[in-house]
Amino acid sequence: MSKNPYQSDDIQLLRLSTAGSVDDGKSTLIGRLLHDCQAIYEDQFQAVQKASKKKGNGEIDLALLLDGLSAEREQGITIDVAYRYFSTPKRKFIIADSPGHEQYTRNMVTGASTANLALILVDARKGILTQSKRHLFIASLLGIPHILIAINKMDLVDYKEDKFEEIKKDFLKFSEKLDIKDLQFTPISALKGDMVVNRQENLTWYDGPTILSYLENVQTISDKNLIDFRFPIQYVMRPNQDFRGYAGKIASGTIKKGEPVMIIPSGVETKIKSLYWDEKEVDEVATPMSAIITLEDEIDASRGDMIVRTNNLPIASNDFEAMVCWFDTTSMKKDHRYILKQTTNSTSAFVTKLNYRININTLHREKEADTLELNEIGRLSIHTQHPIFFDTYKKNKQTGSFILIDEATNNTIAAGVIIDKGKKTSFIHGDKELTSQKGAALWLTGLSGSGKSTIANHLYKRLKERGLECEQLDGDVMREHLCQGLGFSKEDRDINLDRASFVAGLLSKHGILTLASFISPYESQRAKLRKNIPNFIEVFINTPLKICEERDVKGLYKKARAGEIKSFTGISDPYEAPENPELEIKTPETSIDKAVEIIINYLLDNGYLGNTNRMR
């Protein structure tokens, strides 16, 4: 095996799912990855050598490393999802390897449900096929943040660059219709070993990373929700008369000792008395820990209930809309009783309506469809006997996903992701009054290059995902729409800021969350803004000048140093740091994700976001 990855305390875990059509060479690719990373032991390799000889093909068949069941080896196919493990000094990898034929969609969905990255294999001779499209669709449906397309068998198309580019273009065109965050392409030959672990000499025109180098270095977008505290009660522990603990895995968010919480569906409010994790009492717990919570008051809560923050509630309803993939040979029946399992909750469920079936090849919505068969995907309206507590899957994978079980056979017959609440949603939150968002102006102040706009952009996306109304204002927006013709003199800059202040004030007054990013360097300016704008929230993005100057995205510092820009903040004009901002974010030590989390938590704690989620 390769070098010790366990020396570093915090090696990352990357879960990837692979998929490919029957002869794309997926098993060969994984076999190659394992083999070239020395993750295969000699006795395992010898077993493969022995089996390769038996099959009579000359080369050592690395695919045989993966085909674990005798039926698979006999038929030369892969039947079931197989899990593989390997590590490099940088990361530990878990591969969920889904076969590309029989039970195809079901296995792909299974493998993809926990993946951070999807690796999709394509035969360079065949290009984009129906199955490649299915993979992409499922990866986007299940919200896998990164997708890597490996265009394989480049050796059989003479390693031609134009072939690679042609296939890449087809994929990009198809993916336009999907919600994909990050899509990458690598030309490879798994059989010959080109661009898998080693670059070799056949693809010199390609200057991107090899498969392994990409897997080791991809900056994983966090798909953990650290904001919305959701604790589905899994098990009630009563080791003695004096102890009543609620055990569970924190689905999302964090919670501290002493914080006010609500139990749903009862709506009872109480406080966190103590938290246990790792055989000791702790002050704070966070997702994805398995923890134990005790509450201040004696409350009769049980498995399936959920502990949440009073000011941040999930949706509680008997009705919702979901995209569902059908897994069983018996087709979906309307108004038939199924068992739905979501978080730790199980209840009877009925499909009230099939809104449409998705044609995965064309992405066309087939409204005339009247059922779902094995491996088909459609949008269903579902009614449950008891209310369930959920968020949309996009916002929260753990609380937005469910499975359906057939009570006659006990088989898992479908899996779904919740995309919307139902039309006749009934909220069940005790007597708690439900509130919606309030307007506010988040004023991000800081040096040029401090990261104001970057943070605002991320924040904007996250707020939108939560279904909130928000707008962004910054120098570029102002100069494009409201301040054409203004220059950069002191007077002109003042006018620019006055106009921005007026717009932010209007938006805030009318219930919109406004994200305004302006250097606004003087204390006097900001005091004036605070006076004129309702719900003004000052956010100081505190980044050292040296770092801003190193970044110098627009080349302004260089010009200022050369004297080409007069009175430039930080160089030839002062920046008066805010003395009492509502929030101060120090970068670069605070990551963008963390900064966004801090701001959203502030908004939640101060009631700006309302206590439940609006849905779009």
Partner 1 sequence: MNHLKQLEAESIHIIRETVAECKKPVMLYSIGKDSSVLLKLAEKAFYPGKIPFPLLHVDTGFKFKEMYDFRDYYTKKIGVELIVHKNTEEIAMNLDPREAHTDRYIYYKKTKPLVEALKTHEFDAAFGGARRDEEKARAKERIFSFRNKEGAWEPKNQRPELWELYNTRLEKGEHMRVFPLSNWTEADIWSYIKEEEIEIVPLYYAAKRKCLQRNGIYYMLNEFVQPEDNEKVEELMIRYRTLGCSPSTGAVLSKADTVDKVIEEVLTAKGSERELRVIDHGSESSMEDKKKEGYF
Q: Which residues carry out catalysis?
A: 520
Residue placing its CB nearer to partner 1 in the complex, 225 or 514 = 225
* Residue selected from 41, 205, 427, 488 as contacting partner 1 according to rule CB under 8 A: 41
Q: How far is the CB of 406 from partner 1 (least distance, A)?
A: 10
**Alpha-carbon distance values, 550 to 11, 547, 553, 574 (Å):** 29, 5, 9, 19
Q: Is 205 exposed, middle or buried (0-12, 13-18, 19+ CB in 10 A)?
A: exposed
**Residues 145-164 close enough to bind partner 1 by CB under 8 A:** none
Q: Which is nearer to partner 1, 17 or 496 (CB)?
A: 17
Q: State yes or no: residue 26 binds partner 1 (CB under 8 A).
A: no
| CA-wise closest residue to 358 among 181, 109, 616 | 109
Nearest to partner 1 of 69, 553 (CB atom): 69
Q: Which amino acid is residue 234, in one-letter code?
A: Q
Pick the stretch among 193-201, 237-245, 370-378, 456-464 that binds partner 1 (CB under 8 A): 237-245
CA separation (Å) from 159 to 122, 165, 195?
Answer: 14, 12, 12
Instruction: Name the minimum Å distance from CB 18 to partner 1.
Output: 14
Q: Is the omega angle on the peptide bond into residue 534 within 30 degrees of 0, that is, cis?
A: no
Nearest approach in angstroms of CB 468 to partner 1 is: 26
Is 339 a binder of partner 1 (CB under 8 A)? yes
Task: Copy the structure tokens of residue 20.
Answer: 């490919």
Element housing 531 (H / E): helix 523-532
- Which residues inside 257-276 make contact with partner 1, applying CB under 8 A? 276
Neighbours of 54 (CB within 10 A): 10
Q: Which is nearer to partner 1, 12 or 352 (CB)?
A: 12
Among 17, 18, 28, 110, binds partner 1 (CB under 8 A): 110
> Distance between CA 404 and CA 388 in Å, rounded?
14
CB 441, CB 507: distance < 8 Å: yes
- Residues 183-222 close enough to bind partner 1 by CB under 8 A: none
- In this structure, what DSSP letter does residue 103 have? B
- Does 235 bind partner 1 (CB under 8 A)? Our answer is yes
Q: Is 37 in the site for partner 1 (CB under 8 A)?
A: no
Rounded to whole angstroms, the Cα distance separating 94 from 589 reads 30
Torsion of CA 439, 443, 444, 446, to 10 degrees: -170
Name residues contacting partner 1, limited to 293-322 (CB under 8 A): 303
Give yes or no for residue 242 binding partner 1 (CB under 8 A). no
Q: Cβ 83 to partner 1, closest distance in Å?
A: 5
The count of residues interacting with partner 1 (CB under 8 A) is: 77
The Cα 331–Cα 333 span in angstroms is 6
Residues 515-544 touching partner 1, rule: CB under 8 A, are none
The amino acid at residue 223 is D
Instruction: Assess contact for 152 and 132: CB atoms under 8 A.
Output: no
Asked if 35 interacts with partner 1 (CB under 8 A), we say: no
Q: Is the dihedral of CA 44, 48, 49, 51 positive or negative?
A: positive
The Cα angle at residue 240 between residues 236 and 245, in degrees rounded to 5: 30
Contact between 3 and partner 1 by CB under 8 A: the answer reads yes
User: Contact with partner 1 (CB under 8 A): which of 192, 257, 341, 594?
Assistant: 341
Cβ atoms of 394 and 355 within 8 Å: the answer is: no
What is the C-alpha to C-alpha distance for residues 381 and 385, in angstroms, rounded to an integer?
14
Residue with tokens 């999807």: 118
- What does the alpha-carbon distance between residue 291 and residue 551 come to, in Å, rounded to a whole number? 42
Interface with partner 1 in residues 114-133 (CB under 8 A): 114
Residue 398 in the binding site for partner 1 (CB under 8 A)? yes
Nearest to partner 1 of 12, 130 (CB atom): 12
Site for partner 1, residues 414 to 443, rule: CB under 8 A? 415
Told to check if 52 binds partner 1 by CB under 8 A, we report: no
Which residue, 93 or 518, is less far from partner 1 as judged by CB? Answer: 93
* Residue with tokens 């022995």, as numbered in its chain: 50
- State which of residues 27, 113, 131, 317 lies at the interface with partner 1 (CB under 8 A): 113
Q: How far is the CB of 595 from partner 1 (least distance, A)?
A: 20
Nearer CB in complex with partner 1: 362/409: 409
Residues 362-381 that bind partner 1 (CB under 8 A): none
| Contacting residue, 60, 157, 247, 428, with partner 1 by CB under 8 A | 247
| DSSP state for residue 405 in the 8-state scheme | E
Q: What angle do CA 93, 225, 430 make, to 5 degrees?
A: 140
Q: What is the DSSP letter of 331?
A: P
Contacting residue, 29, 30, 62, 109, with partner 1 by CB under 8 A: 109
According to the binding rule CB under 8 A, does residue 234 interact with partner 1? yes
Q: Is 56 in the site for partner 1 (CB under 8 A)?
A: no
Q: Residue from 410, 484, 524, 580 that binds partner 1 (CB under 8 A)?
A: 410
| Binder of partner 1 out of 237, 363, 434, 553 (CB under 8 A) | 237
With respect to partner 1, which residue has the nearer C-beta, 140 or 525? 140
Give the footprint of partner 1 on residues 79-108 (CB under 8 A). 79-85, 87, 92, 94, 106-107
* Structural contact between residues 125 and 189, judged by C-beta atoms closer than 8 angstroms: no
- Least distance (Å) between residue 14 CB and partner 1: 10
Q: Stretches 77-85, 165-173, 265-273, 456-464: which one binds partner 1 (CB under 8 A)? A: 77-85
* Angle at which helices 452-465 and 592-605 cross, to 10°: 60
For the CB of residue 3, give the shortest distance to partner 1 in the complex, in Å. 7
Residue 303 CB, nearest approach to partner 1 (Å): 6
Q: Tell me the backbone φ, ψ of residue 304, rounded to 5 degrees.
A: 100, -25
Separation between Cα atoms, residue 614 and residue 616, nearest integer Å: 7
Distance CA 345, CA 400 (A): 12
